[in-house]
Amino acid sequence: MRIARFILLLALVAGGLGCSAALVPSDPLPSWNDGPARSAILALVDAATDESSPAYVAPGERIATFDNDGTLWVEHPLYTQGVFALDRVRALAPEHPEWRTEEPFRSVLTKGEAAISGFHMEDWQKIIAATHTGMSTEAFEQTARRWLGAARDARWDRRYPELVYQPMLEVLQYLRDNEFETFIVSGGGQEFIRVFSDGTYGIPTWKVVGSSVETRWEETERGPALLREPHLFFLDDHQGKPVGINLFIGTRPVAAFGNSGGDREMLEWTTAGGGRRMGMLVLHDDARREYAYGPAEGLPDTHVGRFTQELYDEARRKGWIVVSMRKDWKRIFPWED
Amino acid sequence: MRIARFILLLALVAGGLGCSAALVPSDPLPSWNDGPARSAILALVDAATDESSPAYVAPGERIATFDNDGTLWVEHPLYTQGVFALDRVRALAPEHPEWRTEEPFRSVLTKGEAAISGFHMEDWQKIIAATHTGMSTEAFEQTARRWLGAARDARWDRRYPELVYQPMLEVLQYLRDNEFETFIVSGGGQEFIRVFSDGTYGIPTWKVVGSSVETRWEETERGPALLREPHLFFLDDHQGKPVGINLFIGTRPVAAFGNSGGDREMLEWTTAGGGRRMGMLVLHDDARREYAYGPAEGLPDTHVGRFTQELYDEARRKGWIVVSMRKDWKRIFPWED
């Protein structure tokens, strides 16, 4: 009996040591400088996971939503999906001789990305219809996957899924390590983002909320197919973000991360919930390491990821936290030295 | 050194014993009789989780979808959400004196559930609009939650979330224990099911795909709200099921479970995928313990959860498995002795 108890004791001690070794605290946000943004993230997680805290949140309700363009990855000088669409126009041009005279295709083919400065919404609609619809969901996925694996941006000569922000990858992981569910809620195309979200962010397809076109079921000789139709089904931007959160997630977030006016209603919806909530906006104020645009002094305005003074004032008023890429982030990209 | 090694060995042995004690094989499907249905579920999971099998499926792609009405819980004599809607008509009647003369409300108020035999689709649309829309998403959730916690069915005098099938609860748990992701894909109302899906099935709100009405963002004096509008937004039935799977889940299922014609396209989409897939249909052939309707000999046809001979023949042809409640299930409900 004594020996058995001794063995049990040893096993418990050994098990306990193994356990505490795994729990040695390490910095969960190594790419963040000390400051209010880092502190706010740590404090939110501490409170949400502390059962004795009045701000405790049960695991199934620990929802965090992230805009994609400009919040998780680079959006300048043009949204990546826009670059993809223009590349597809060039790739498909041989099958469309009529594009040599038909706008906006003619401009894309002759002027390249310089053409887009004169584009209106309907020009983009034509380009999206021509490049994103008229094929099966599987064919679209394959095309997008091939492009994302090959295309390189002009400034860093990197594949686009490499242009993700290391500090935000750390936030995603830190939240998931604390039983948060992390979702993308993007104005961009849902099926486009789903192609790389799991490999890049660790976010599976069903946790990607985005804009979508109508799909139509068809039974073909080769089996059933879902065909992408040239009609918008759901626009997940501005007011569409809280609507999409309700539709796709069904639980109000505890924390929401964005960077532009399209995220305003998502942050409003999130922080209007009861209890402790957090809204966070990434400010692009680092022209040297990334890009600089927005409401801070001396930064230019932009149509891609617009962060107005009005939104900045609302953030101040409501206690949303503005992340300065320049001051808050030690590094921008995972591959930086 | 020797003592240290001895201690280490003891710890390893003790740890090993603790580990194997937790892994002692126990029957994961105790409410299923031996038979082709039980075997098919076990074989699918064995193959999907065996890295050396050609039918191995990576965890993030182990998707299983379940219809709700008639597949996870009782749908006869009337879908539970229909019972809820009729109860809401009665509850709201004092605020609507015009219903005393206006159909279909007049029939509901005077004839009770007997009224529905004469209803057409547009009658139900009026009832759904009057009882499911015109309020905020939060107000609807509260109303549904209160009703589901109180209302009792006439036959068993149980609350409706108790009328779930124990064998299917076991399948859900067994799949999740093997890193499958379990989703509901129902023709019923998404926001109605989400109220009880986590507590009843262990399925969180974002894994419930269903039919939905439009919601509208409104900034009120008391803060932002999402208002339920009397317009159908998405019908998750028949062809809508694969469309909804693509829209909400974004990955084709490995296994799909249904019980009626509304599930046909979901099973077609699932089993048309490459590799090993499984389609399963629950046949209600147990009038004594539950209800009996469908294509088997002597069973009556029905408009609630219709399982036609044509669907039965397709199941035979395509190797979908038909579960006989009478033969395959040892018990029906969790609370049975």
Taking any CB pair shorter than 8 Å as contact, residues of chain A touching chain B are 7-8, 10-11, 14-15, 60, 137, 181, 183, 190-191, 194, 198, 204-208, 212, 215-217, 219, 223-224, 226, 233, 239, 242-243, 246-251, 265, 268-269, 272
pLDDT (0 to 100) of residue B24 = 58
Beta strand B181-189 pairing with A321-324: unpaired
In B, minimum Cα distance to A18 occurs at: B11
Closest CA to B205 of B197, B216, B214: B197
d(CA A79, CA B47): 42
Q: Which two tokens stand for residue A212?
A: 């979508």
DSSP summary character for residue A281: E
d(CA B4, CA B183): 50
Taking any CB pair shorter than 8 Å as contact, residues of chain B touching chain A are 7-8, 10-11, 14-15, 18, 60, 137, 181, 183, 190-191, 194, 198, 204-208, 212, 215-217, 219, 223-224, 226, 233, 239, 242-243, 246-251, 265, 268-269, 272
Beta strand A278-285 pairing with A292-293: antiparallel
pLDDT (0 to 100) of residue B20 = 44
Q: A25 versus A211: which is more confidently predicted?
A: A211
First-to-last alpha carbon distance for chain A, in angstroms, is 58
**Which residue segments constitute the domains of chain B, with CATH numbers given?**
27-73+161-328 (3.40.50.1000)
Closest partner residue to A249 among B205, B226, B250, by Cβ?
Answer: B205
Each residue of A89-108: pLDDT tens digit?
A: 999 999 999 999 999 999 99
CA B194 to each of CA A26, A166, A207, B207, B321: distance values in angstroms, whole numbers, following the listed order: 37, 35, 16, 9, 28
Q: What percentage of chain A reaches a pLDDT higher than 70?
A: 93
pLDDT (0 to 100) of residue B301 = 85
Q: Cβ–Cβ contacts within 10 Å for residue B255, how many?
A: 27
Closest CA to B323 of B248, B231, B255, B238: B255
| pLDDT(A239) > 60 | yes
**Collapsing DSSP states into helix, strand and coil, what is residue A100?**
helix
Q: Could you list the pLDDT tens digit for every one of the 337 residues in chain B?
A: 455 554 544 444 444 444 444 555 789 999 999 999 999 999 999 999 999 999 999 999 999 999 999 999 999 999 999 999 999 999 999 999 999 999 999 999 999 888 888 899 899 999 999 999 999 999 999 999 999 999 999 999 999 999 999 999 999 999 999 999 999 999 999 999 999 999 999 999 999 999 999 999 999 998 999 999 999 999 999 999 999 999 999 999 999 999 999 999 999 999 999 899 999 999 999 999 999 998 887 888 888 899 999 999 999 999 999 999 999 999 999 999 7
pLDDT (0 to 100) of residue A307 = 93
How many angstroms away from the CA of A198 is the closest CA of chain B? 9
The pTM of the full predicted model, rounded to 2 decimals, is: 0.92
Each residue of A121-180: pLDDT tens digit?
A: 899 999 999 999 999 999 999 999 999 999 999 999 999 999 999 999 999 999 999 999
Length of chain A: 337
d(CA A326, CA A290): 9
Q: What confidence tier does A24 reach under pLDDT thresholds 50, 70, 90?
A: low
Closest partner residue to A198 among B60, B226, B243, by Cβ?
Answer: B60
| pLDDT(A19) > 50 | no
A61, A254 Cβ separation under 8 angstroms: yes
ipTM: 0.92
pLDDT (0 to 100) of residue B333 = 98
- Mean pLDDT computed over A30-48: 98
pLDDT (0 to 100) of residue B281 = 98
Q: Which residues pair with A99 in a beta bridge?
A: none
Q: Which two tokens stand for residue A258?
A: 């964005």
pLDDT (0 to 100) of residue B303 = 84
Cα torsion A234, A238, A240, A243 to 10°: value is 170
CA A241 to each of CA A67, B161, B204, B286: distance values in angstroms, whole numbers, following the listed order: 9, 31, 20, 46
Beta strand B223-234 pairing with B208-220: antiparallel
Q: Quote helix, strand, coil % in chain A, to nearest 5.
A: 50, 20, 35
φ and ψ at residue B27, rounded to 5 degrees:
-65, 115
Which residues lie below 8 Å from residue A122, measured CB to CB, with a gap of 6+?
Answer: none
